[in-house]
Structure 1
């Protein structure tokens, strides 16, 4: 019997093929393309949340940057916390699922017409940043690494596009989380597609000039 060693490239190909086979039965070919764009955005948002807060659960919307949580969504908590990262003190007011800074909130609550800092508003801010950095087309097309590097200047947990030096997540781990979330979304929407289609309001973000 001949034993064959499967190369790393071969394993990557098989992984991509397996993912493609999972996604293929989502719906008709045309609907598949439209649905996948939305599901990729959802999975990308989850990946950012995981990188920034360590969780994709709803509790992420309550997380303060270094320690503790907040419960009042009427506005950004604006709580400044400091911690030592790589032998230097870093202070931040970042809060919520996407670790939004207070000065970003002060600006974007008017631009995006946000009434509060609720989960929906936090999602909208994250989507605004993705669009602003020119990454939304990459996200919808599945060009994950390109999108990650484009938003790196916003989120310190991204491994490229910034020099924050705050222990960014490796690209491989980010990609694994993204693919894991995407497969789960596909499975979920395949099970309910006759009842409801996936939706996400990111195309019509209203920006006040």
Structure 2
């Protein structure tokens, strides 16, 4: 579950769906709900960071990425959003606020609030490589599976 308790049920369910898509259920269970996961992690070989003071900015040569956290945030974007949102650290609530800002900027929040989840996924697929249509050459989940996770997390679909 997201740590940001002020978000609506649909937004929280969407964040859970994103984390499931990006991190996977095995890593979500064997980490701090994904908040401390580095890109390239697997349930057998979890790569975790230990400090939420700031984005860990650890480069994974195998994946050519610095993605970290529950929503696999790239280090190059973190400073801008940390300043924009006045985030104190890279902790769970800060990561949730970052992801919600991404949803807001792509104009997906109204779609999520109204339960138009397939349309919202399409609006943000260029941000998260695991979403259908992302086109980053990584595994992309099917919409039906994402919707099942979203509903299981308590989200409503229109």
TM-score scaled by length of structure 1: 0.64
Alignment check: 8 A CA contact 1:66 1:82 kept: no
* Largest Rg, 1 or 2: 1
Which residues of 2 match residues 90-109 of structure 1 at below 5 A? 90-109=63-82
Alignment check: 8 A CA contact 1:74 1:117 kept: yes
Structure with the higher helix share, 1 or 2: 1
Matched, 1:169 2:141: yes
Residue 51 of structure 1 aligns to a residue whose secondary structure is helix
Aligned residues: 141
Which residues of 2 match residues 171-190 of structure 1 at below 5 A? 171-182=143-154
Which residue of 33, 37, 42 corresponds with 1:63? 37
Q: Once the two structures are superposed, what CA deviation does each residue of 1:20-79 show, in whole Å capped at 9, x if it has no partner?
A: xxxxxxxxxxxxxxxxx8111110000000000013553300100003000100000000
Alignment check: 8 A CA contact 1:92 1:101 kept: yes
Moved segments of 4+, more than 6 Å: none
Q: Which residue of structure 2 lines up, in the alignment, with residue 43 of structure 1? A: 13
Structure with the higher strand share, 1 or 2: 1
TM-score scaled by length of structure 2: 0.84
Q: Which residue of structure 2 lines up, in the alignment, with residue 3 of structure 1? A: none
Q: Unpaired runs of 5+ in structure 2?
A: 1-6, 42-46
Q: Which residue of structure 2 lines up, in the alignment, with residue 54 of structure 1? A: 24
Q: Which residue of structure 2 lines up, in the alignment, with residue 75 of structure 1? A: 54
Deviation at 1:115, TM superposition (A): 1.2
Q: Partners in 2 of 1:120 and 1:128 — Cα distance?
A: 12
Q: Partners in 2 of 1:179 and 1:77 — Cα distance?
A: 32
Q: Once the two structures are superposed, what CA deviation does each residue of 1:145-200 show, in whole Å capped at 9, x if it has no partner?
A: 0000101011001102x3212111111110110011116x9xxxxxxxxxxxxxxx
Q: Partners in 2 of 1:133 and 1:66 — Cα distance?
A: 26
Q: Partners in 2 of 1:110 and 1:154 — Cα distance?
A: 20
Deviation at 1:82, TM superposition (A): 2.8
RMSD between superposed Cα atoms in Å: 1.6
Deviation at 1:106, TM superposition (A): 1.5
